[in-house]
Structure 1
């Protein structure tokens, strides 16, 4: 079953899902400002930095605590593991994918990403609202960690050595030519560069499963291969994992990613395009 849902499929659902706006901008302004300016009717806002991540250290976006996620679930009115949830954002699903991955990690089983996000909704002729929904259900579904696998630095190094470790960052960051976010430039030795921008079309929709399979096959992903993904801080890695799952390829996220990898000076650093 696809992890994506189209606008038409969303409109056709018999049971209204919990809608979640996860608009986020790495360099600002805060996503809440965009949400307040207009969002899907009934959508709640979830802040990536405070609800989908713990405070930095080590790494810029560590996993949030189960207590934090439980409070978010209650605010959203999520009452069970199979409560239908649809997440979206205004930036090619980069932050929505982090919500999709995090919610599943903490026990939700019916989470989808709106393909094309806010722009697709508007292109379909649907209206936005500035009204926020009322509060959810206190004492709702209790989040518990570990429902999908996650890698630490040692695990990522092992996949790089024996499987396929994909680096979802831009080519110049992978090569170590520039590094706007972290104090050390480069990549994990053995990783393969697979920038997330190639997962979507100019309209912000994900490429077809066949196109994505072709892309990842060209990068060395083979049937039955151990595949993992990292990025700068575990945000765009989730987007890459979403694309892989859409293509029918299971993958694990190294959630600490590059910003955690470099906190240990004994870990090796590679530069260059290979």
Structure 2
């Protein structure tokens, strides 16, 4: 027998007042009636196509982090994600993006929608949002009931620890030892962005973070990956050793992922990225710091650089492997870049693609966008949705995937997401399209792929 949970106007009003930035219409709150569902009933509905199970918690909890007192991290099998955090983001065309998100996830008005979280508040916020869009069959479920029963399965990404929630970073700053950091020796937080401190860092960064100009790992005028000698000098001057645990943050996430991949290539054994970047930190309500912090140089990295050379695929390796069946070059640029309609860059005019590369999606607008791989709050997109894109392009995840873009920024982020999911037979073709097309002897294709 289903229990009916009448959500009191005063309760929803308190919740909404705490999130006034969401700008939700409260005129029909008193008409919202939500139904609860038991664990036994939910188990019966998991494979029913007329029901949709929706995880309304943070992306980090969906990925696998054990936050807010829950016993087990991850999500219920077959659940899709629609985080309450997404309602708080202020971006252009927000409603259009959210409508498309609902559609892509199959959260349709003619279905029964089960919203779950661990604190009730997240589900209530999403319930109110959906009800104002005309959704009627909305159910509420407490995921703690599922997580507390060890016999019930929960799914999490194999390497979810590679992208870190803001609350975990805050715990570290407060002197705590959160999950997956038990063996961390020296934790360093860095901010990665192009240019000097005034370009981004001085306007606000995660406390204690010191600034890394991306030119240090991809020096001008070519902006290709620095050589071993340059990377060794960089490591020593900025105090990195192979035993460090490094969390890379930044307003521009691509810069953070680019630097993170280079640090891992160098041989830093534990490198992670703040999931959602500086936006996630601010949405969590944490203060930024505007004063400068500086690294302490070291005299020894602890190993020869690079200690993890297989993470980077060189241009010669691309040429050698392109026609091999077990190798796939994934082109993470826009469709216009892939077919040669646009170069993608104001400072590079050569257009086209590398023959035999596979279109791997990126953004909708330009070389600074990754819409296909991010949620509206810039966190990592549900990996099943990413896999669906790759399947549509014929990308076989059982083969070695070398990700590329124009110069390595977009592809570094996509590579990390692939490794979060557990796809470890992967690498970054760091020189990308710019490195390839700068050599006139290299073949180029244009037009739609056959």
TM-score bucket of the superposed structures, by smaller chain: 0.7 to 0.9
State the partner residue of 1:18. 188
List alignment gaps of at least 5 residues for structure 2: 1-158, 178-183, 363-369
Hey, what does 1:61 align to over in structure 2? 223
Q: Structure 1 residue aligned with 2:443, among 261, 264, 268? A: 268
Could you tell me which residue of structure 2 aligns to residue 244 of structure 1? 418
2-side partners of 1:148 and 1:213: how far apart? 26
SS at match of 1:46: strand
Task: Give the TM-score taking structure 2 as reference length.
Answer: 0.55
Deviation at 1:140, TM superposition (A): 4.5
Give SS of 1:111's match: strand
CA displacement 1:11-32 (0-9 Å, x = unmatched): 33426721111123xxxx7664
Question: Separation in 2 of the partners of 1:146 and 1:138?
Answer: 17
C-alpha contact (below 8 Å) 1:38/1:128 kept by paired residues: yes
CA deviation profile, 1:45-98 (whole Å, cap 9, x unmatched): 10112x111334xxx3222133433343344433x312110002212x211111
> Structure 1 stretch 202-211 or stretch 153-162: which is displaced more?
153-162
Residue aligning to 1:38: 204
1:66-145 map, 5 Å: 66-78=228-240, 80-91=241-252, 93-141=253-301, 144-145=305-306
- For the pair 1:208 / 2:382, whether they are aligned, the reply is yes
Contact 1:76–1:135 (CA under 8 A) maintained in structure 2: yes
Which structure is larger by alpha-carbon Rg, 1 or 2? 2
Contact 1:212–1:247 under 8 Å retained in 2: no
| 2:347 is the counterpart of 1:177 | no
> Aligned equivalents of 1:111 and 1:69: distance in 2?
16
**Distance in 2 (alpha carbons) for counterparts of 1:147 and 1:22:** 21
Instruction: Tell me the residue number matched to 1:235.
Output: 409
Q: Scaled by the length of structure 1, what TM-score is found? A: 0.87
Cα distance between partner residues in 1 of 2:279 and 2:397: 34
SS in 2 for 1:84: strand
* 1:166-190: CA deviation from partner (whole Å, max 9, x where unpaired): 1111111111112234232000011
Matched, 1:195 2:323: no
CA RMSD of aligned residues (A): 2.2
| TM-fit CA distance, 1:118 | 0.3
Q: Which ranges in structure 1 are unaligned for 5 or more consecutive residues?
A: none
Q: Distance in 1 between matches of 2:337 and 2:390?
A: 20
Alignment of 1:153 onto 2:315: yes
3-state SS, counterpart of residue 265 of structure 1: coil
Secondary structure, counterpart of 1:129 in structure 2 = coil
Asked if structure 2 preserves the Cα contact closer than 8 Å seen for 1:199 and 1:240, the reply is yes
